[in-house]
Amino acid sequence: MRSFKPWSALASMALLTSACGGNIAKGVGAPFSETCQSDQGKSIAALEERLRSAKAPPAAPVAVGVNETGLYGVTLPSGKRWAHQGTADTVPIVAGELVVASHAGALFALDAKSGRQLWSVPIENRKLRGAGDDGNVTVAVVAGESPGKSRFVAVTRTGEVLRTIDSKVELGFPAVKAGIAFIPWSSQYVTAIDVKTGDEVARLLVREIVTQARNFNGDLWFGEKGLVRFDDKIGLATTNQGTHVDLPARPLPGKPLWLGSGNQLWPVGNSARLKIRISALPTAAGGSPHFTNHAYLASYFRVVLGLSEQDGSVRFVKSLGGDALGMSAAQQGFAVCDASGKVSLVSEKGGDAGSAELGARLTACALDVSAISLPETQAPPALAEQIGQALSDLTPDMAVAQKLLVDELTKQDDPLVTKILIDLTSSAKIPPDLRAAARKLIATRRSGKQYMLAALERHYDYVSDVLLPPPLGPLADALAAMNEVSATPLLARHLNDPANEMADVERAAVALGKLATPAEYEDLRTFFALYRATADEPSLVKAVVAVGGALLRIGGAPGKTVVERAAQDPLTQVDVKRGLGALLAEQSAAPGTPKTTNVAQTAQRP
Amino acid sequence: MPVRNPRTLIISAALLLTASASVWAAPPQAGPATAAKPAAPKSKLDLPGLQKALESGDAAQMVSALDTISKSGDPAGAPLVEALLGRGADATVLSRAIETLGVLGQPSSGAALAPYAQHRTPELRHAALRALIATKSPLAGDVLRRALHGSDATQRAIAARGLGELNVRAAVPELLKVLPKDVNEAAQSLGQLCVGAECEKFTGMLGHLRFETMESGMVPLLLRPQADVPDDVKLRLIEKLRRMATQPANQLLQTALAKFPADGSAKVKLGLERALKGFSVTEESE
């Protein structure tokens, strides 16, 4: 059994040749042995110190799309396009100046700027899992569909395979810097291997899941859900004191992953997994670790959310022409590649920053803009408007995202929110649950009066294809709570429209009980006459009684006569009669102040 | 093309109704149509007795009074029934009252019937629309047009048919819009009402809509005077029907020829005859 010798300052030079008992890593499993004892971060710290002055090259700003016939690239933000015949079996990876992909048992690299193929090497039915590049050497982990077939390869620019290590333990997404490859394994370790000698020169034990070694704009980070930076504190990572970043926990539709497990393949195909992702770019610029833009992106099919790194609150919403297949955060701004082949460049505030076309419909896309900034060319509309647009773009099967957006919408103070909610209740694309939620929220609105009144102008209209009446009940509740007397003629007109749901009519009647003016007397009188004896359901009974109350309040002597006679008429529906009797009793007990149903009593209904 | 929404006029009708009955016990006032009428001949009906019965609150008495008025056919009973509708009653009494106004057929009853065309109970709604058509009230056209916009298919069908019966030309754009939306009754009315380009648009739907949908409007259109529907529109329609070469289309041509007016266009008549013999409607188009 090999033992992992404790390191001393003097021994640091020795790490070049020995990180785990001085054994040279060759053949199956040699460098990925769990029998070594932890060196408390000494070897990785010494390696970091040695490599500190070397900078891993950042990724070329490029988007690469895949479909069944080819790979399509476009440089960003300039928009120079290229195409490569032949497809990829897993999502390609932008590694430095290269695009690395696999297909039909071969690993190949293309020049990211031109699409020219640089090399291709056989990988025996394995597929690309992860790759990195240091400007001279490309490292990759390839794997089979079944576990235990991980292989690390290091390839020069000329296509010479410098190193091949097959491993029975799962190897994660690798990185490389100055000829030293960093390979996560067993979800716990990162092993540093000199690709020329094959020596394991350092090992890092991380106290969280580590399946990813990533080069973000020249800095290496290790981890999966959270990342620890390869910097002067890396030696402390074993005790959770390294430079660490992670994203705030918050529920998101589809439960998207940021990097996901580096131990798995990301096959090209129509999987939802590719369309529900998170993208964030960690940085230590300014001293403390954070994410560029102080924000990150989350995709859910055709909708992308910009979220605050602090609390996950929504900063912007972008709807796309196709499902989001790839995203990347820039130093400033973001880029999103969708299934239509469009790459949308987004400013850090969610405004437009240009776009590029890949020129083909896609089934997968990889892109990297981590090295560049994307200045805003057009400011975004108000967040409420962005959410409204996204809601109208979502299809009915995306209820989770719709609910999230509606929840976000209601946090906005913008009167436009009222309009968006009203539009939601009128959209056939919105599932019933969400429509009910939107109706409930309308009742709580206290701004956007103009939108409420405009909605009440609308009636069901078969000829003009207006096949959903406005949300009369919730609007009535809100307008009554706002004491909006200007709404009364519109509400009164809706009373006598049979296309409205009875429960809505009841709420309109209750609102009119509070708001009606003498100008609405005739509408109210008509409603009362039509239904005082034909009310056949509780809502209609309540509506008639509420209108009776309004007639008493605004109708003067004629109104009182109408109600009194109805209260005496044997034909008047029995519950209506009882309600009218109570109203009249109240009025005679306190003349001039007839009670009406409290609008707040109906405010919680959809 | 924007369609004029007749809601305002209907509401005005309702206002007329309610204004006339704004106080429960007040006798209903006659609408504008009756206001200008000369004094009616003395009624044989016991109007005070009937009024008492209709205000009794006893459904049996009320129904009986309504039957009496209905059987008499005496227009003098109409104001009593209109007042009853203004006050409201249960569904049975209302139904009988609406039916009675239909029987009496007084244009003045339109204002009382109009609000019931929007009642939440479909049967009352349908009955009110039918009664309105029977009264030929000046309000009926707008009420029927409004009903065409409603959510109830039966209501739309009654309205579409009634608009043709009442010769409501203003409804043609709406009828053209609802015809492709499963309101087959619009076809017959369009055949009766369309002129010029409207008829071209209507006949242009033949081939796009099912023959059964269009069928009821074809014969009325072919029998209309040339001033309303130009001969060339009719001839194109006849040729279209001939080329369909189906039994129902052929039957339709036969019906049109059988009913063709003596003073109708000779060209159209010849076209029908030629089409029935299998020839093109005009020699030139052969």
Please tell me the distance from the alpha carbon of residue A528 to that of residue A577, in angstroms, as a whole number: 12
Q: Crossing angle for the helix pair B78-87 and B59-72, nearest 10 degrees? A: 150
Question: Coil, strand, or helix at residue A368?
Answer: strand
Q: What's the rounded Cα separation, in Å, for the pair A239 and A205?
A: 9
Q: Extract the tokens encoding B28.
A: 């209903």
Evaluate if residue A187 carries a pLDDT over 90. yes
Domain map (residue ranges) of chain A: 381-447, 464-606
- Give the tens place of pLDDT for each residue, A398-427: 888 888 898 888 888 899 999 999 998 988
Gyration radius of chain A over CA positions: 33
Max CA distance (Å), chain A: 108
Partners of residue A571 in chain B, C-beta under 8 Å:
57, 59, 89-90, 93
Give all strands (DSSP E) within A249-359, no chain letters: 278-279, 282-283, 290-291, 295-300, 303-308, 314-319, 324-329, 334-338, 342-346, 352-357
> pLDDT digit string (tens) for A119-156?
999 999 999 999 999 999 999 999 998 888 899 999 99
Q: What backbone torsions phi and psi does residue A460 show, to the nearest 5 degrees?
A: -55, 135
Q: Which residues of B touch A463 (CB under 8 A)?
A: 3, 148-149, 174, 177-178
Which chain B residues touch A472 with a CB distance below 8 Å?
Answer: none
Searching chain A, which residue's CA lies closest to the CA of residue B177? A463
pLDDT for B285? 52
Q: Using beta carbons and an 8 Å cutoff, which residues of A are at the interface with B?
A: 459-464, 467, 493, 496-499, 502, 521-523, 525-526, 528-534, 536, 540, 558, 561-562, 564-566, 568-571, 573
CA distance A430 to A428: 5
Give the closest of B118, B156, B181 to A497, CB-based.
Answer: B118
Task: Show residues of chain A in contact with B89, CB under 8 Å.
Answer: 533, 571
Would you call B206 an interface residue with chain A, using a CB distance cutoff of 8 Å? no
8 Å CB contact of A462 and B156: yes
* Beta-carbon count within 10 A of A8 CB: 9
What share of chain A in percent tops pLDDT 90?
79
- In angstroms, what separates the C-alpha of B154 from chain A's closest C-alpha? 13
Tally of CB atoms within 10 A around A590: 10
Point out the residue among A461, A463, A522 whose CB comes nearest to the CB of B14.
Answer: A522
At residue A570, the 3 state secondary structure works out as coil
Measured between CA atoms, how close is B123 to chain A, in angstroms?
A: 12
Q: DSSP for A175-219?
A: EEETTEEEEEETTTEEEEEETTT-BEEEEEE-SS---EEEEETTE
The pLDDT, as a whole number, for residue A434 is 84
**Mean pLDDT computed over B175-190:** 97
**What is the token pair recorded at A351?**
């405004």
Q: Examine the pLDDT at A603 and tell me if it is beyond 90.
A: no
Predicted local distance difference test score (pLDDT) of residue A188? 93
Shortest distance, CA A570 to any CA of chain B (angstroms): 5
Q: For B23, name the nearest residue in chain A, comparing CA atoms only.
A: A558
8 A C-beta contact, residue B132 and residue B162: yes
**One-letter amino acid identity for A418?**
T
pLDDT of residue A35: 72
Q: Sorting pLDDT into bands at 50, 70 and 90, what band is A593? A: low
Q: Side chain identity at B280, as an amino acid letter?
A: S
> How many pairs of residues across A and B have Cβ atoms under 8 Å apart?
108
Taking the model in full, what pTM does it have?
0.75
Per DSSP bridges, beta strands A324-329 and A106-111 are unpaired
**Contact predicate B104/B72, CB 8 Å:** no
Average of per-residue pLDDT values in chain B: 88
Per-residue model confidence as pLDDT tens digits over A551-567 = 999 999 999 999 999 99
The Cα–Cα gap between A430 and A426 comes to: 8
Cβ contact B7–A493 (<8 Å): yes
- pLDDT at A10 (0 to 100): 36
* Nearest Cα residue in chain B from A498: B120
Taking contacts as CB-CB distances below 8 angstroms, the residues of chain B near A561 are 23-25
Chain B residue numbers with beta carbons less than 8 Å from the beta carbon of A564 are 24
What pLDDT digit, counting tens, does each position of A341-364 carry?
Answer: 999 999 999 999 999 999 999 999
Alpha-carbon distance of A44 to A186, in angstroms, equals: 17
Report yes or no: A326 and A339 within 8 Å, Cβ to Cβ: no
Distance from CA of A417 to the nearest CA of B (A): 29
On average, the pLDDT of chain A sits at: 90
Whether B23 shows a pLDDT value over 60: the answer reads no
B70 to A453, B73, B83: CA distances (angstroms):
45, 5, 15
Q: Is the pLDDT of residue A602 over 60?
A: no
